[in-house]
Amino acid sequence: MSKRRSAALTEAQRVSLAQTLLRERLCHQKLPDRPVGLDSQYKHLLELLRRTAVHGESNSVLIVGPRGSGKTMLLGCVLRELMSLKEVQKNVLLVELNGLLQTDDKIALKEITRQLHLENVVGDKVFGSFAENLAFLLEALKKGDKSSSRPVLFVLDEFDLFAHHKNQTLLYNLLDVSQSAQTPVAVLGLTCRLDVLELLEKRVKSRFSHRQIHLFSSISFAQYVDVVRAQLSLPPDFPDPKFSEEWNHSVTKLCEEKSVEEILKRHFNASKDFRSLHSLLFLAVSRVSVSRSTLCEADLLEASRLISADSKANVLHGLSILELCLIIAMKHLNDTYDGEPFNFQMVHNEFKKFIQRKSHSIHKFEKPVVMKAFEHLLQLELVRPVDSGVCKVQREYQLMRLMLEHGQVMEALQRYPQCPTDVKQWALSAFG
């Protein structure tokens, strides 16, 4: 049956199946089997949580690592393994909070109560006042003891944001519970801030156990390439073994190619985290189609180009010649006055000088037309007023700054389709 079906799989089906599988993997919808390069951290955290779950030992720990370093993924893997332990199943309560969602202690307390299913105890009463809520929760936690109550795992994502709550009441209380003989709790903070401990008030800090698990990936480029290969490979249980074999082979070959290696190196240099890698691979995988059923070099190149494209480059491409001229004038002003702000009048003068001197291709524009072009640039935020909000000054004389780097302007000019040569020359010349 399965054989017949696999045979029946069309090319399109196979490709879409492979794409779905890879996309799922790259979009973090599925936890990896084991976190890459975080073995010691994984062991440490698992052991810690296991002790809370099994022995009822209260703990507090911070998982610190830059964005995209896999903090949540690590925790997810650990929890998955923890919950698979028979001893732990149904013995642990999990409360997940996020500093971006629970923006103050009141909301956080409600959320905790909700997640602990305590709101049933007193009907709607518990969601009365903040004070009642706090007292209620503390009482609940105080009731428990080390050996008989279920351990509660508090996961605080964006831990640093909780430190900005008033008086850090929530943190104090959670950490206080973790340091006293009450319901066993494990307070897990996830943050990307290295200075998170300095945010804690001294008595909150004293109650924190100072365990920090740092996630600094120290992988080499070779490992990085391995990860790319592993991420792109199809699993052995893919319905069509022939297709998957072909696919995997092409991926292996792809990774060995010089140009691909260059792209990957560039990405590796920019950032080591896997999230940006995933977005790169995702773009590449999306380009696979029935006509080209394997991943090729061009796909990766295009994806890389898309990802590392400058955000303003496209905006510059859409400008008119007049607007481009204004930008060049501004660039010259910047060069002359060393980045000091300018106003429209100065830009207009500069532009007029250029027209008078050597413009053949550009005819003269009226001042209001130039003003209009300038305002368009203002709207695109390529130019920004120095002091926003001060409108006492006439518009022509309001001080502005150019929000473009020198290099960006030059690159835009290079790529601008059918750019007049005299404009290009003007841009390249040292002085306007």
Enter the tokens of residue 159.
Answer: 């831990």
Q: Which stretch binds other proteins (CB under 8 A): 16-24, 143-151, 294-302, 424-432?
A: 143-151
Q: Which is nearer to other proteins, 208 or 354 (CB)?
A: 208
- Residue from the set 102, 173, 304, 398 that interacts with other proteins by CB under 8 A: 173
Residues between 70 and 109 with contacts to other proteins, criterion CB under 8 A: 87, 90-91, 93, 105-106
Residue 188: how many other CB atoms lie within 10 Å: 28
Cα–Cα dist 328/432, whole Å: 9
Q: Which stretch binds other proteins (CB under 8 A): 116-124, 298-306, 315-323, 350-358?
A: 116-124
Q: Which is nearer to other proteins, 176 or 246 (CB)?
A: 176
Contacts with other proteins: how many residues (CB under 8 A)? Answer: 92
Q: Could you say whether residue 275 binds other proteins (CB under 8 A)?
A: no
Residues between 341 and 400 with contacts to other proteins, criterion CB under 8 A: none
DSSP-based three-state secondary structure for 70: coil
Residue 417: how many other CB atoms lie within 10 Å: 5
Residues between 151 and 170 with contacts to other proteins, criterion CB under 8 A: 151-152, 167, 169
From residue 400 to residue 429, the character string flagging contacts with other proteins as x (rule: CB under 8 A) and all else as - is -x-xxx-xx---------------------
Residues between 119 and 138 with contacts to other proteins, criterion CB under 8 A: 121-123, 125-126, 129-131, 134-138
Cβ-contact 137, 113 below 8 angstroms: yes
Q: Could you say whether residue 207 binds other proteins (CB under 8 A)?
A: yes
From residue 1 to residue 40, the character string flagging contacts with other proteins as x (rule: CB under 8 A) and all else as - is ----------------------------------------
Q: Which is nearer to other proteins, 202 or 363 (CB)?
A: 202
From residue 317 to residue 336, the character string flagging contacts with other proteins as x (rule: CB under 8 A) and all else as - is --------------------
Cβ-contact 59, 51 below 8 angstroms: yes
Closest CA to 374 of 356, 400, 335, 409: 400
Cβ-contact 154, 148 below 8 angstroms: no
Cα–Cα dist 130/107, whole Å: 9
Could you tell me the CA-to-CA distances from 254 to 211, 232, 249, 279, 297 in Å, in that order? 42, 10, 8, 18, 7
Cβ-contact 172, 77 below 8 angstroms: no
- Return all residues near 264 (Cβ < 8 A) that are at least 6 apart: 221, 224, 225, 228, 255
> Which residue is listed with tokens 């260059």?
262
Q: Which stretch binds other proteins (CB under 8 A): 2-10, 304-312, 348-356, 371-379?
A: 304-312
Residues between 54 and 73 with contacts to other proteins, criterion CB under 8 A: 54-58, 64, 66-67
